[in-house]
Amino acid sequence: MAKKIKLPLTEEIIKSFKSGDNLLLSGVLYVARDAAHRRMTESLDKGESLPFDIKGQTLYYMGPSPAPPGRVIGSAGPTTSARMDAYAPRLLAAGLKGMIGKGVRSLEVREALKRYKAVYLAAVGGAGALISKTIIKSEVVAYPDLGPEAVLQLEVKDFPATVINDIYGGDLYVEGKKKYKIT
Amino acid sequence: MRNIKADLIIDAVSKLFKEANYSLGDDVLAALKKARHEEESPAGREALDAIIENASIAADEKIPLCQDCGTAVVFLEIGQQVHIEGGDLYTAINEGVRRAYEEGYLRKSMVDHPFTDRKNTGDNTPAVIHADIVPGDKLKITVLPKGGGAENMAKLGMLLPASGKKGVIDFVVNAANEAWSNPCPPVIVGVGIGGTAEKAMAMAKHALVRKVGQKSPDKENAGLEKEILQKVNNLGIGPMGYGGRITALAVHVESFPAHITALPVAVNLQCHSARHREVVI
């Protein structure tokens, strides 16, 4: 049974998450991938502020296909999170509370999740058509010059996600594999 | 000699890439439904439900199955009696790709120079084209929009011949294990054994366009497919890496004779969104 969660994530909500939980998220998500991450961390290194307040927010690693006429967005599934690993601890230190993508995170990111009390969620990769139906609004809010890699603000309703890494060190990828492995 | 108009090729390639991006083949859908039936893990079953529902939405509403509409990989079997008129073959194929990705609202993911500017080419060209000359007067075009997540998990091993069958099995299973959740399992494992380094990798890629689960006509290869599939599914990775019994839908092996010193093994993984289409002109 999926838990209905209102975004942004609060400390209380984050504490309640356990790896393996199914969620339906509603509210605001920010979309950023490689190029936007590079730029955001460069800004932080220079002591500049980010183009949107990242405190308490959730980032979705995604690069949509173009929206056909009459649609909010095209296909909109998660991309591989590992490409953002180098930048994630920096953003978590700046107050980021949630990340949504697919695939395993580095040890550094997993440690940072525990330290900063944040969570890593997965959406089903390759289910971009299905996920697009939960996105009710999409607009560019930063770095428009990056084109398809610009930062988007999405409004989602019942966006399906699964908790991979909780704040207690739980990891669905590790636990799931261990449970079903046949030696 | 048989003349085939370049325009016909442009239209065919454009149509194939759109269709491949919007709808899974019946063989892939059947394999996913079978996996859903066999999967024991609740999280794995839910992931498969989402994947199957996604396929139905994409096909009905004509939007891409996955936002990663891939590198445009094209396999050609060109009958040696075919003559292309009204333009050259590769230009026609790239024009077909350009039209499909523009008209079909498909994501353009190609960047021009891989390690400097990485500027998007804007139309998903150039296609990666593999051409074979075959007897006859037909042209067979197979398209495979290949997503980045799975492609990035490819592996090549130049094994010692003494490693033998066990060495091959260990290499392939290890590649699937290391790829873990990244290639969007359940995957199809393409394996190329023998030839040279590039021949092995080309076979591993070509193995992905076979109908899912169809056995290799070579008895040894077919046996290897069965053995590797069992071992990969024993890894416990499961659908989307959430844990489960079905990590791979199938293993497809192609082989070729090799040099006395060599045992090349290539692995190319295909995500569950196994998109490909073909036509014979």
What is the ipTM metric for this complex?
Answer: 0.95
Distance from CA of A95 to the nearest CA of B (A): 27
pLDDT given at position B12: 98
Order of strands, edge to edge, in the sheet holding B139-146? B128-134, B71-79, B139-146, B277-280
CATH 3.20.130.10 fits A3-180, yes or no: yes
Q: Cα–chain-centroid distance for residue A85?
A: 12
Nearest-by-CA chain B residue for A81: B182
Q: Which residues of chain B have pLDDT under 50?
A: none
- B74 in helix, strand or coil? strand
pLDDT for position B213: 87
Q: Which residues of A17-39 are buried (b: 16+ CB within 10 A; e: fewer)?
A: bebbbebebbeebbbbbbbbbbb
Decide if B180 and A178 are in contact by the 8 Å CB cutoff: no
C-beta separation of A101 from A79 below 8 A = yes
Find chain A residues with C-beta within 8 A of B46's C-beta: 22
CB-CB under 8 Å, A71 with B245: no
User: What pLDDT digit, counting tens, does each position of B262-276 carry?
Assistant: 999 999 999 999 999
Cα atoms in the Cβ-side hemisphere of radius 13 Å centred on B71: 18
Burial of B90 (0-12, 13-18, 19+ CB in 10 A): middle
Structure tokens at A69: 């006429």
Place of tokens 């998660």: A78
A77 contacts in chain B (CB < 8 Å): 66-68
**How high is the pLDDT of residue A37?**
95
CA A71, A72, A74, A77 torsion: positive or negative?
negative
pLDDT, tens digit, 9 for 90 and up, residues A30-88 = 999 999 999 999 999 999 989 999 999 999 999 999 999 999 999 999 999 999 999 99
In a 3-state reduction of DSSP, which class is residue B255? strand
Phi then psi for residue A72, to 5 deg, are -70, -40
Cβ pair A148:B68 closer than 8 A: no
Contact criterion met (CB < 8 Å) for A130 and B147: no
Query: Going from the N-terminus, what domains does chain B have, and what CATH number goes with each?
Result: 2-19+65-146 (3.30.360), 149-274 (3.30.1330)
The burial of B183, by beta-carbon neighbours within 10 Å (0-12 exposed, 13-18 middle, 19 or more buried), is given as buried
**Does the beta-carbon distance from B181 to A133 stay under 8 Å?**
no
Query: Closest Cα of chain B to A133: distance in Å?
Result: 9
First to last CA, chain B: 14
CA distance B278 to chain A (A): 22
What's the average model confidence in pLDDT over A105-124? 97
Whether A148 shows a pLDDT value over 80: the answer reads no
**What are the chain A neighbours of B64 within 8 Å (beta carbons)?**
65, 74-75, 128-129
Q: Where are the domains of chain A?
A: 3-180
| CA-based R_g, chain B, Å | 19
Distance from CA of B173 to the nearest CA of A (A): 13
**Predicted pLDDT at A18:** 97
Residue A1 pLDDT class (50, 70, 90 cuts): confident
